[in-house]
Amino acid sequence: MPTEKTHQKVIASFIELLETHRIEEITYTAIADNAGVKIEVVRACCNGKLDLLAAFMQDIDQKVLKERDPDLMDETRRDRLFDVLMCRLDIMEPHREAIRNLRKTVVKDPALAMHMHKLVTRSMKWMLVAAGIEEFGLRSVGMSNALALGFERLVRVWLEDDAPGHPKVMVAVDDMLANGEKWMGRACRVEKVAAPFIEGLGRLCQRPSRPAGKSTPPPETANGGAEASP
């Protein structure tokens, strides 16, 4: 099996090619040649280009988590998430052209768009963790998906904002989080209203079912015998 160093070399080769080519134009032979490895090494490192994209995004996740400042936990959830998302965009900065080229295909390829949304949603789950916001179950799914949709819009602004410090991006992040707070407030109210119904449904699902083939015994009469049929 390839070493971690070789694996990273293949990922870097793919992202480097993505800076000047669309994803559909990049061949596995080109990835191998650019990485200075044999084609079978590329195959051993991944199942395809989507795997390389997933590995690239995971690497960004890990870099953000590594940059996580424990002192930020004294700030509000909104401020923590703001800092985490800006940190992620800063880490993405060297790969701006690769991401720009990727988006050119995403907007025209629904299948790739769906796959990318899944990857972004998974990354946003870890961004919430980096901000000290950990949920479970439906709330985790809802928050990760909502943040993914917002982040995908942020990336569009980021790609067009070439000004130092990305002031337009900062405003967009702040607006997105403000809207997110309103959305989460409504979601929490709905969750409280729905809680009794969900709890009742859970009890219903846990109720033991009657074994097949067994009928309910007829009610007994006052004298202890079975009630006679009319």
Give the closest residue to 16 by CA, choosing from 1, 30, 37.
30
Q: Is residue 144 included in any domain, yes or no?
A: yes
Q: Are 76 and 177 found together in one domain? A: yes
Note the pLDDT of residue 214: 54
Q: Are 16 and 81 found together in one domain? A: no
Q: Are 104 and 130 found together in one domain? A: yes
> d(Cα 101, Cα 109) in Å, to the nearest integer?
13
pLDDT band for position 190 (cuts 50, 70, 90): very low
Total residue count of the chain as it appears in this document: 230
Q: Are 166 and 128 found together in one domain? A: yes
Q: Is residue 71 included in any domain, yes or no?
A: yes
Q: Are 79 and 154 found together in one domain? A: yes
CB neighbour list of residue 139: distance below 8 Å, 6 or more residues apart = 187, 191
Average per-residue pLDDT for the chain: 84
Q: Is residue 226 included in any domain, yes or no?
A: no
Q: Is residue 210 included in any domain, yes or no?
A: no
Q: Is residue 24 included in any domain, yes or no?
A: yes
Q: Are 35 and 88 found together in one domain? A: no
Note the pLDDT of residue 11: 97
Give the three-state DSSP class for 131: coil
Q: Are 96 and 7 found together in one domain? A: no
Q: Are 1 and 44 in contact (CB under 8 A)?
A: yes
pTM: 0.77
Q: Are 63 and 153 found together in one domain? A: yes
How many domains would you assign to the chain? 2
Burial bucket for residue 184 (CB in 10 Å: 0-12, 13-18, 19+): middle
Q: Are 31 and 136 found together in one domain? A: no
Give the closest residue to 102 by CA, choosing from 163, 164, 59, 57.
57
Q: Are 180 and 96 found together in one domain? A: yes
pLDDT band for position 105 (cuts 50, 70, 90): very high
Candidate from 93-107, 115-129, 138-152 with smallest mean pLDDT:
138-152
> When comparing pLDDT for 28 and 177, which is higher?
28
pLDDT band for position 211 (cuts 50, 70, 90): low
Q: Are 18 and 101 in contact (CB under 8 A)?
A: yes
Neighbours of 208 (CB within 10 A): 5
Q: Is residue 179 included in any domain, yes or no?
A: yes
Q: Is residue 211 included in any domain, yes or no?
A: no
Q: Are 105 and 22 in contact (CB under 8 A)?
A: yes
Residue 228 has pLDDT above 90, yes or no: no
The single-letter DSSP state of residue 83 is H
Residue 115 has pLDDT above 90, yes or no: yes
- Residues 157-179 have pLDDT tens digits of 999 988 888 889 999 998 888 88
For residue 162, report the phi and psi dihedrals to the nearest 5 degrees: -95, 0
pLDDT band for position 224 (cuts 50, 70, 90): very low
CATH (domain of 41): 1.10.10
Domain range for 17 is 1-46
Q: Is residue 218 included in any domain, yes or no?
A: no
